[in-house]
Amino acid sequence: MHMNKTMIRRAILDSFRKLNPRTQAENPVMFLVYLSAIAVTCLWLAGLFGWQDAASGYTLAVAVILWFTCLFANFAEAIAEGRGKAQADSLRKAKKDIEASRIESLETMEQVTVVNSTDLHAGDLVVVRAGDMIPADGDVIYGAASVDESAITGESAPVIREAGGDRCAVTGGTTVLSDVIVVSVTAEPGKGFLDKMIAMVEGAARKKTPNEIALQIFLIALTVIFVLVTISLYCYSAFASREQGVANPTSITTLLALLVCLAPTTIGALLSAIGIAGMSRLNQENVLAMSGRAIEAAGDVDVLLLDKTGTITLGNRQAAAFLPVKGVSQRDLAYAAVLSSLADETPEGRSVLQLAREQFGIELAADPSMEFIPFTAATRMSGVIFQGQSVRKGAADSVKSFARVQQVEWPADCDAIVEDIARSGGTPLVVLQNDQILGVIHLKDIIKQGVQEKFADMRRMGIKTIMITGDNPLTAAAIAAEAGVDDFLAEATPQGKLDMIREYQKNGHLVAMTGDGTNDAPALAQADVAVAMNTGTQAAKEAGNMVDLDSSPTKLIQIVRIGKQLLMTRGALTTFSIANDAAKYFAIIPAVFTVLYPGLEVLNIMHLHSAESAILSAVIFNALIIVALIPLALKGVKYRELPAGKLLSRNLLIYGCGGIVTPFVCIKLIDMVISLLI
């Protein structure tokens, strides 16, 4: 999101509003600058009434610059917040109080009670028709419809939301474009997804992360050290003056300015902006982070768990062939496959019907007398009971176990067919009818273009990628090898995913994963970074600490990059700030104390005009560098797919050396300008 005039105007006004002492106290380093600005202002006012600490013009100049330092720090935070506030404003437009058609049950759909959306509670059922806005967050329990979610995701293409499966969740504020659905409300008024999203993007719900708190404690410790250094310098100055029998040339104004220059004000001013900007970059990727902690964790992730379907493969596996066992005709296999797929609304299930129609002209419709057996993650089978016929379709190992229990003979050639399909990277589905194995359906899985390069990038970043799939080990191994992942978990169950995450965490790894189904919720809750799909179930969203509005599982890779970029930016600017302090120390001290300690002149390598111009140059540089670094804090340090050691060395060289050289050059230039004006 680009900065516009409105955003800048709002940020400038917020900069002045943030001068409130309570707001300033939230940032201890900048609070010191704030108190110093007040103290120097008081010294200037005291000078007007006869008690002069230093030259009136000099004191006023220092006071003004210190106030500007506070304003620039406030501006950095306000401009970072402004991005979120602009996004929150557009989201508020989508959030409207509308009339909802509430019903008591599915059987009484025609008996509608019109209520305001604010009166809806979890568990209420509402009917939403074409052209209506969905009044609240919920799950579709009846029907299917195309929904316009552009108000939230920014994506204009409509999406399908239907009862059953993992694409049933709908969000309040989106619009139904076709058909009729019944939604079971899952959120209380004011606690919907849109409400949470508004609170997060505008920063109202932002809390300081553990890393941010730890860094702030470190900065406070540094500041305390510099306070002690400044007090010591004043003591030395007073002692030397008394010994030499001269008035103390070191004013309180100078010492306060010196303290501000030595304190880590650069990172102190930008610390909050860096964190907010990290969240903003995620928001721009259409990812809503429920906490800053999750973004930081993403930066430290070294194990990625990725679903095969929809992430590594296109997700729409297509039935390619019916492969019967010996003694069974292709048509009989196709017929049984169609029977077992009539209630299967997945793309795979529909492709079975299409293949049977194209090859054999088989056209069947669901009959009320049919008893359908739904697919579950535990059984990994589905089927139907109809006119004395019992048909099962599912993964080879699941059907084999079922056949063993039912004492059904397993044909020898079935294993060979399954192995051949698996070895080619396809997915075999075995069909069982009554007490006979009929054959195998060959499902083809297509690898997404460019995933190999992405996983190569991950490897260079030191991140291990693991593919999760319900396929058998042979199929999983073939796809894993083609995609270029480091490892895979085949025949994955909810418990299997959970156990794998716990095992990696026990060995000191940070784990990230994506999920969209209720069966993913336990694993998502266990993972350090859990990205739930916006299309997924409410349980998955509650378990995740991030929600991907685009519902793209590959987004996890971009999230990791943004997390690493956040940590790198914070580290780089901290390095720059501390290097700055060291440089300013050696630039200022000789110029300030040369009168009392003439031997320090040899250290005055910059040959600054005077002690006053040295201090003024340093505090001006101290204020301007904050403004100069705001774009970098917002954009982030550029991330490269390099090992951590190389990245650290590179950034230390750039921001460490840059932090030392820049103050020397800039302070000298500013001093030259000041000397011309005096």
Active-site residue set: 307
Task: Quote the tokens at residue 493.
Answer: 């169950």
Question: Which of 647, 594, 550, 7 is closest to 250 using CA atoms?
Answer: 594
Element (H, E) at 485: none
Contact 261, 528 (CB under 8 A): no
Token pair 């993007």: residue: 201
> How far apart, in whole angstroms, are the C-alpha atoms of residue 295 and residue 276?
11
Cβ burial of 363 (10 Å; 0-12, 13-18, 19+) is: exposed
Q: What is d(CA 211, CA 90) in angstroms, rounded to the nearest whole number?
A: 31
Residue with tokens 């109202």: 204
438 within 8 A of 325, measured Cβ to Cβ? yes
**Eight-class DSSP state of 652:** I
Nearest-angstrom CA–CA distance, 177 and 382? 32
Give the Cα separation of 173 and 274 in Å (integer).
31
Name 530's bridge partners.
Answer: 513
Closest CA to 435 of 416, 418, 411: 411
Give the Cα separation of 654 and 656 in Å (integer).
6
Q: Alpha carbon 651 to chain centroid distance?
A: 23
327-347 burial code (b ≥16 CB/10 A, e <16): ebebebbbbbbbbbbbbbeee
Q: How far is 592 from 282, CA to CA, in rounded Å?
A: 46
When computed from its CA atoms, the radius of gyration of the chain, rounded to whole angstroms, is 33
Give the β-pairing of 303-307 and 464-468: parallel
Which stretches does DSSP call E strand in 410-541? 427-433, 436-444, 464-468, 487-489, 511-515, 529-533
Phi, psi at 616, each rounded to 5°: -60, -40
User: Would you call 385 helix, strand, or coil by DSSP?
Assistant: strand
Closest by CA to 318, choosing from 298, 289, 341, is 341
CA distance 535 to 31: 45
Residue 88 near residue 95, CB atoms below 8 Å: no
Distance CA 270, CA 570 (A): 9
